[in-house]
Chains A and B, each alone.
Chain A
Amino acid sequence: MATSGNNIKSAKLVLLGDAGTGKSSLVLRFVKGQFVEFQESTIGAAFFSQTLAVNDQTVKFEIWDTAGQERYHSLAPMYYRGAAAAVIVYDITNWATFMRARKWVQELQAQGSPSTIMALAGNKADLLEARQVSAEEAQTYAQENGLFFMETSAKTASNVNDIFYQIAKRLLQSHPVQNPQGMILSDRPAQRVVSTTSCCS
């Protein structure tokens, strides 16, 4: 992959999915390495950030964690608009949340930016005995729709870092160009590139 050492690329990432599927828990596991059994419901949306090193490059995720209930739908577009990546979360023990995830995918395909990288996360993968959505089915769906798919568990931390790492890798692959300002993958003005980019070369 491309050259230079200390480029930090900011990428806006949004989590979407039905209420109670574990969006906040995934973020908290990824950002703080924590898990609580009864995570307070997210009202409105919450913001987090986390950097991730991929080979010699660093991606800084600016993460919007949204409220999942259908009624909050009207607040969602401002969070997925301009997002470089979206993680659509369902709960493997709840079929309805998978259907809802598919609706989110459709909405992003229709309303979002075509360059948004979409990941499908089948969360609560530790609750195998209660499974309602098979991994094969989700995988097939993901393939057909150009998403990449992983089953995750915020509780055991299984695949949590991996899914964000995969997103970061794909972000770098789809935008491999090096420009001296660093690449802005989020929709806000420049400025936030933290690195000392202007000095190199």
Chain B
Amino acid sequence: MEKKRANDEFEPGPILPSQSVDRFEFIKQEQNSSEGLSTSRSANEHEREERRIRKWRKIIGVGGSDWKQYVRRKPHVVKKLIRKGIPDCLRGLVWQLISGSRDLLLMNPGVYEQLVIYETSASELDIIRDISRTFPSHVFFQQRHGPGQRSLYNVLKAYSVYDRDVGYVQGMGFLAGLLLLYMSEEDAFWLLVALLKGAVHAPMEGLYLAGLPLVQQYLFQFEQLVKEHSPKLGQHFSEEMINPSMYASQWFITLFSYSFPFPLALRIWDVFLFEGVKVVFKVGLALLKFCHDDLIKLPFEKLIHALRNFPEDAMNPDTLLPLAFSVKVSKRLEELQQEYEKRNGGTLPKAGSTNRLLQAIKHKELSIKPERSNCVQKDDPSPRILH
């Protein structure tokens, strides 16, 4: 298993000759593609960045030892810092701390290995089919059967065994792929668990369950929010028969890790892991607001195209994110969720599993156990947490 420690400094992978890659090792499509973050920084900027990293290191402590206490004491400082972006060299570690995945990992030694090595998954062929179709333009994932593809396979397979109801769904690969660029396989797996099972925020496994119930709910909420935050645009969308499923389903299914510029995706993930899924709504609404005056003039076809190809300036994290943070959605999101549940019989997986997972973390007395073997007892509805 490929170990790539999170708090290592940025270390370049095997770069194939004659391919030029950007700062994040994606193979450049065009000669003059701008990266949002310049590679040649002035000495001044460099110094500022060094200071920022030192500050972060101090807050985190050795291996994350001081982190929890600091967050408890100064949550607002942390929130503000994260919104400015986590330094790239600390990103992997901080993601594990804020998502709660580090705790899951520590509480479940050996579980990942068990899942990868000893269990078989019904999704293995599906996963293999998609492996070379996940971030095909990134050097880490490009090499056939190379370390990137192998880790991606292992993480996805492990998850498909860990939760056989979810199994493997297209889209998960982009989440796992993004994580693997910043942490080891095992760490990436537990972060996926933390997200989907809800270690800190509400569980998101509904994104991938049969019928995609959470995608449907998010799309409903998003459509209403568009109407409320940008009424003219909402009206224009209705007239042009555009609904959010046509452009935003991938935003939610992959949490912006698919077909968004990487520097922006990373900055969104920094905040998303700390503040929760409302950030995805905020960013989506901010994108529409930013391009409002253009979008409102476009007919159906051009509109669809524009909603898939936002202009470069909209993709600049330092422009888009402040706009996103100014959009207030928390209260309405809750109300709209209730409204959606009322309309649809309220069958969505609720925070139950969150609480249990949280308890598991707090009391350190429970351990997550994967479903064993293929003969799963289907009549046992409890999550895979043993008491």
Q: What residues make up the interface of A, taking CB atoms closer than 8 Å to B?
A: 19-20, 36, 38-47, 49, 62, 67-69, 71-72, 74-75, 78, 187-189, 191-192
Is the beta-carbon distance between B241 and A189 smaller than 8 angstroms?
yes
Q: Which of B33-41, B298-306, B326-334, B375-383 is the contact stretch?
A: B298-306
Residue of B nearest to A188 (CB): B241
B residues near A191, Cβ cutoff 8 Å: 299
Is the beta-carbon distance between A46 and B308 smaller than 8 angstroms?
yes
Query: 27 A-B pairs, CB-CB below 8 angstroms?
Result: A19-B126, A19-B129, A19-B130, A19-B170, A20-B133, A38-B133, A39-B136, A40-B135, A40-B136, A40-B259, A41-B133, A41-B171, A43-B171, A43-B249, A43-B253, A45-B245, A45-B246, A45-B249, A47-B246, A47-B304, A47-B308, A69-B126, A69-B169, A71-B170, A72-B170, A74-B216, A187-B241
Which one of B170, B245, B250, B254 contacts A69 once the chains associate, using CB atoms below 8 Å?
Answer: B170
Is the beta-carbon distance between A20 and B212 smaller than 8 angstroms?
no
A residues near B159, Cβ cutoff 8 Å: none
Which one of A20, A44, A45, A62 contacts B130 once the chains associate, using CB atoms below 8 Å?
Answer: A20
Q: Would you give the shortest CB distance from B312 to chain A, in whole angstroms?
A: 20
A68 to B130, CA, bound (A): 11
Q: Would you give the shortest CB distance from B119 to chain A, in whole angstroms?
A: 21
Is the beta-carbon distance between A71 and B246 smaller than 8 angstroms?
no
Residues 232-250 of B contacting A (Cβ, < 8 Å): 240-241, 243, 245-246, 249-250
A20-B130, A39-B133, A189-B241 known; A71 and B249 CB under 8 Å? no
Is the beta-carbon distance between B136 and A49 smaller than 8 angstroms?
no
A residues near B171, Cβ cutoff 8 Å: 41, 43
A residues near B246, Cβ cutoff 8 Å: 44-45, 47
Is the beta-carbon distance between A40 and B134 smaller than 8 angstroms?
yes
Is the beta-carbon distance between B170 and A78 smaller than 8 angstroms?
no
Which one of B129, B174, B212 contacts A75 once the chains associate, using CB atoms below 8 Å?
Answer: B212
- The verdict on B173 contacting chain A, using a C-beta distance below 8 Å, is yes
| Contact bitstring B208-224, A, C-beta under 8 A = 1, else 0 | 10111001100000000
A187 to B307, CA, bound (A): 20
- The verdict on B67 contacting chain A, using a C-beta distance below 8 Å, is no
Q: Would you give the shortest CB distance from B211 to chain A, in whole angstroms?
A: 5
Which one of B170, B211, B304 contacts A74 once the chains associate, using CB atoms below 8 Å?
Answer: B211
The 9 closest A-B pairs by CB, nearest first: A44-B249, A38-B136, A44-B250, A43-B250, A38-B132, A47-B304, A20-B129, A41-B133, A69-B170
Q: What residues make up the interface of B, taking CB atoms closer than 8 Å to A?
A: 126, 129-130, 132-136, 169-171, 173-174, 208, 210-212, 215-216, 240-241, 243, 245-246, 249-250, 253-254, 258-259, 299-301, 304-305, 308
Is the beta-carbon distance between B212 and A72 smaller than 8 angstroms?
yes
Is the beta-carbon distance between A44 and B253 smaller than 8 angstroms?
yes
B residues near A72, Cβ cutoff 8 Å: 170, 212
A49-B301, A78-B245 known; A41 and B212 CB under 8 Å? no
A188 to B242, CA, bound (A): 10
Is the beta-carbon distance between A43 and B254 smaller than 8 angstroms?
yes
A188 to B135, CA, bound (A): 34
Interface centre among A40, A43, A187, A191 (most CB of B within 10 A): A43
Residue of B nearest to A46 (CB): B308
A residues near B216, Cβ cutoff 8 Å: 74
Is the beta-carbon distance between B254 and A78 smaller than 8 angstroms?
no
Interface centre among B170, B173, B304 (most CB of A within 10 A): B170
Q: Would you give the shortest CB distance from B280 to chain A, in whole angstroms?
A: 14
Which one of A36, A67, A78, A187 contacts B243 once the chains associate, using CB atoms below 8 Å?
Answer: A78
Residue of A nearest to B241 (CB): A188
A residues near B249, Cβ cutoff 8 Å: 43-45, 75
Residue of A nearest to B134 (CB): A41
A188 to B240, CA, bound (A): 8
Given contacts A19-B126, A41-B130, A192-B301, 16 further A-B contacts (CB under 8 A): A19-B129, A19-B130, A20-B130, A40-B136, A40-B259, A41-B173, A43-B249, A43-B253, A47-B301, A72-B212, A74-B211, A74-B212, A75-B212, A75-B215, A187-B241, A191-B299
A55 to B211, CA, bound (A): 44
Is the beta-carbon distance between A192 and B299 smaller than 8 angstroms?
yes
